Amino acid sequence: MIRIAFVAALLTLGNAAWAVTSPFSFQGSLEDGGLPANGSYDLQFVVKNTAGTPLTSSITLEDVPVIGGVFTVPVDFGESIFSGSDRRLGVSVRPGASSGVFVALSPDLPINATPYALTTNSALTAAVADDVIDFAIDSIDIASNAVTTAKLQNDAVTVDKLASNSVSIASFTGGAATGAISISVGANDCNEYDLSFGGVAAGDFVLLNTDPLPDDLIITALNAPATNTLRIKACNVGATTQSVSDLSVRYVSFR
């Protein structure tokens, strides 16, 4: 009776470093009757989980040459079986001239990653992507509010990237309100006033309209120095003091 013992094995990628594909090279050592095996042997391989359950069909290689106990063969189970979970390689053997049953070697061998292949452990959340194919990232892949102004490079959005009529006055409106003001300005003088208007944000650009406007009195909006605060400037170009009470004012701000 032939006794076959498995001594050592090495699993490595069998392709160039820059073209990682599914086949890999399997190198092992056989003993036959306590001595290094020489001659032809049939080898059978299957991928299992850690519980020893086969996950693939067996791959059988006939008449593999073994010299001084050492052999090297290519094995290919495809890509889908290596999804990141622990895998074991089951190996069975019989003499090449035999058509009998295969003898399973024990234990099953852990399938370890080679140095470059370690990167694939995090490939689903890649740390660096040199390039992304067109249309690879769609709205489903971008979380709500994920892209903010801080993440946009200056001048990143150009006219060519805006759809026709996508930007309107309404898109820029910050706030709008009506109210009344009472002011008094001396002859040939200007005064500034801070008015309270809800809806104004600091830094807004503001348009102001008054109705009616007394003769020789000019009122303009300067800026929005703070939230809900509108600063105006009133200038009297007349020779006498101009005063208004409950003057109707409407503003629109943009941001």
Q: Are residues 112 and 181 in the same domain?
A: no
Please report whether residue 166 resides in a domain.
no
Return the higher-pLDDT residue of 121 and 37.
37
Judge if the upstream peptide bond of residue 225 is cis by omega within 30 degrees of 0.
no
pLDDT tens across 24-34, in order? 888 888 888 88
92 and 12 in a single domain? The answer is yes
Rounded to whole angstroms, the Cα distance separating 25 from 12 reads 5
Asked whether residue 190 is domain-assigned, the answer is yes
Number of domains comprising the chain = 2
Stated as kind and residue range, the H or E segment containing 29 is: strand 24-32
**Is the domain of 111 the same as that of 205?**
no
Cβ-count burial 175-214 (b if 16+ within 10 Å, e if not) = bebeeebebebeeeeeeeeebebebbeeebebebebeeee
126 or 17: which leads in pLDDT: 126
Of 84, 119, 154, at which residue does a domain stop? 119
C-alpha dist (Å) from residue 1 to 129, 156, 187, 199, 235:
57, 77, 124, 94, 115
Write the pLDDT tens digit of every residue in 114-149: 655 656 655 556 666 667 777 778 888 888 888 888
User: Considering only 16-20, 24-28, 48-52, 250-254, which range has the smallest mean pLDDT?
Assistant: 16-20
Residue 12's pLDDT band (boundaries 50, 70, 90)? Answer: very low
Residue at which a domain ends, from 119, 138, 156: 119
Residue 58 lies in a domain: yes
**Residue 82 falls inside a structural domain:** yes
Residues 48 and 109 in one domain: yes
Please check whether residue 248 lies inside any domain of the structure. yes
CATH number at residue 188: 2.60.40
CATH number at residue 51: 2.60.40.10
Q: Is residue 77 in a domain?
A: yes
- Residue 160 covered by a domain: no
Angstrom distance (rounded) from CA 84 to CA 82: 6
d(CA 222, CA 101): 95
- The last residue of one of the domains, among 99, 119, 139, is 119
**Does residue 26 sit in the same domain as residue 101?**
yes
Same domain, 110 and 11: yes
pTM of the predicted model over 0.75: no
Containing structural domain, residue 178: 171-254
Question: Does 5 score more than 50 pLDDT?
Answer: no
The number of residues in the chain equals 255
Q: Is position 75 within any domain?
A: yes
